[in-house]
A and B are shown apart, each in its own frame.
Chain A
Amino acid sequence: MAAPGRGTSRVLLKLKRNVEEGNYYEAHQMYRTLYHRYMAQKKHAEAIELIYSGASLLLSHNQYTSGADLCLLLVEAFNTSDTPVDTENIDKVANLVCTIPAEVPERGKCINSALQWSKASNQAIKTGDPELHQRLAVTLWKEKNYMEARYHFLHSYDGEGCASMLVEYQVTNGYPSEVDMFVAQAVFQYLCLKNKACASLTFHIYTEKHPAIESGPPFILPLLNFLWFMLTAIEGGKLTTFTVLCERYQPSLKRDPVYLEYLDRIGQLFFGLPPPAGPTTGGGMLDNLLRGFLGGETGHDEGTGSSRPAEEELD
């Protein structure tokens, strides 16, 4: 990115003074005007510098609505200029989004547009860049919004953060009988997203940190032994081992009927099993289910980029 010229820094100083004197409305409008001028001149680096500093400044003065508005312009500039989805730029947008309090209605829009932009990093990941998901997850976790934090952790590469958050979530909001189920759900879902490393890390850290889980493996709870064996079987790629495990642990796996559906998918992804077909399995329904969970393709969930669909359906 080119260094902004002398002119830009003079203007930035003037705008900064404006904000510090409390002339928020004026400053906001001026940022917008200058932004559009730079963009029209294709001075994208200057536009980004200007709008990022403006958004940061307004947000630090608790001007959340105007700060969020500039945050949206920053993402717009990223999109227009094909700014790479790298750590530096993710930092910029995450720094802004994460200082907007949850109650500000515009925050959701900023999150969604940032995730939308971040999809450019990897066309294969339809739900947005894992680094950005990680930053959002940590923010939501701090706000004790476990449900949304969980969604973003699953789309990040932060298995360690996910495990620690899940321990806290389970202890504060789950039932004692669900100690093993919380980690099973996350492990299965990570595996369905083909994220073996996070599945394994989440399992090991969760079982190590959870106050109600005795040391292991082996564990006292059969479902935990199943997960431990299954993760090992995936490493070895032995289908017969996987099949035997699924059979011997049926009673544990039936505690949540969705587990068997995850395992179908895991069998396909890691052991080359064909997708279930025929009238007995209702394969179409499962496929739709998983696509919904995987967060794209069906159209219905696409573009929300957060666990909003689940939230709506909770009402």
Chain B
Amino acid sequence: AMETAGWEAAVPAEWVPVINQDIGRQRRQAPQGGLSDAYLAGMPPKRMKLTQ
């Protein structure tokens, strides 16, 4: 309860239940595995160099 105190006021009321549900979903979310070549091809060119 502590960690959610306050932020709700900064967003439209109808977003709050969605965001709360997403906070829960993100906790259970599996860590992102490796990314496909197709996805990585969309990176800015200079970043491609850095990630290799």
Task: Tell me the A residues contacting B by CB distance below 8 Å.
Answer: 146-147, 150, 169-170, 173-175, 177-178, 181-182, 185-186, 189, 218, 220, 222, 225-226, 229, 238, 240-241, 243-245, 247-249, 251-252, 254-256, 258, 288-290, 292-293, 301, 307, 309-310, 313-314
**Which 5 pairs across A and B sit closest by C-beta, in order of nearness?**
A293-B44, A173-B38, A292-B46, A222-B22, A251-B26
**Interfacial chain A residues near B23, Cβ < 8 Å:** 248
Q: How far is the CA of A177 from the CA of B19 in the complex (A)?
A: 21
**Interfacial chain A residues near B1, Cβ < 8 Å:** none
Closest B residue by C-beta to A218: B18
Task: Tell me the B residues contacting A by CB distance below 8 Å.
Answer: 7, 10-11, 15, 18-19, 22-23, 25-27, 29, 32-33, 35-39, 41-50, 52
| Contact call A289/B38, Cβ cutoff below 8 A | no
Closest B residue by C-beta to A255: B32
| Contact call A241/B46, Cβ cutoff below 8 A | no
A23 to nearest B CB, angstroms?
44
Closest A residue by C-beta to B4: A248
**Interfacial chain B residues near A225, Cβ < 8 Å:** 18-19, 22
| Contact call A309/B45, Cβ cutoff below 8 A | yes
Closest B residue by C-beta to A293: B44
Q: How far is the CA of A147 from the CA of B39 in the complex (A)?
A: 9
In-complex Cβ contact of B36 among A173, A220, A251, A292 (8 A): A173
In-complex Cβ contact of A313 among B10, B18, B32, B48 (8 A): B48
**Interfacial chain A residues near B10, Cβ < 8 Å:** 238, 240-241, 243-244
**Interfacial chain B residues near A182, Cβ < 8 Å:** 39, 42
Q: How far is the CA of A310 from the CA of B42 in the complex (A)?
A: 8
A sample of 17 cross-chain residue pairs with beta-carbon separation below 8 angstroms, ordered by A number, consists of A146-B41, A147-B38, A150-B41, A169-B38, A173-B37, A174-B38, A178-B35, A178-B39, A181-B35, A244-B7, A256-B32, A292-B47, A309-B45, A310-B41, A313-B45, A313-B52, A314-B37
| Contact call A222/B44, Cβ cutoff below 8 A | no
Q: How far is the CA of A289 from the CA of B43 in the complex (A)?
A: 10
**Interfacial chain B residues near A181, Cβ < 8 Å:** 35, 39
Q: How far is the CA of A289 from the CA of B39 in the complex (A)?
A: 17
In-complex Cβ contact of A147 among B32, B35, B41, B49 (8 A): B41
Residue from the set B11, B18, B45 with the largest chain A CB neighbour count within 10 Å: B45
In-complex Cβ contact of A258 among B7, B37, B43 (8 A): B43
| Contact call A248/B22, Cβ cutoff below 8 A | yes
**Interfacial chain B residues near A292, Cβ < 8 Å:** 44-47
| Contact call A310/B43, Cβ cutoff below 8 A | yes
| Contact call A301/B11, Cβ cutoff below 8 A | no
| Contact call B45/A174, Cβ cutoff below 8 A | no
Q: How far is the CA of A150 from the CA of B46 in the complex (A)?
A: 17
Q: Given that A185-B42, A292-B46, A313-B48 are known contacts, is A251 also in contact with B35, CB under 8 Å in the complex?
A: no
Q: How far is the CA of A303 from the CA of B21 in the complex (A)?
A: 47
A228 to nearest B CB, angstroms?
9
B29 to nearest A CB, angstroms?
6
**Interfacial chain A residues near B36, Cβ < 8 Å:** 173-175, 178
Q: Given that A244-B11, A245-B11 are known contacts, is A301 also in contact with B45, CB under 8 Å in the complex?
A: yes
Residue from the set B22, B36, B38 with the largest chain A CB neighbour count within 10 Å: B22
Closest B residue by C-beta to A151: B42
In-complex Cβ contact of B33 among A177, A218, A222, A252 (8 A): A177
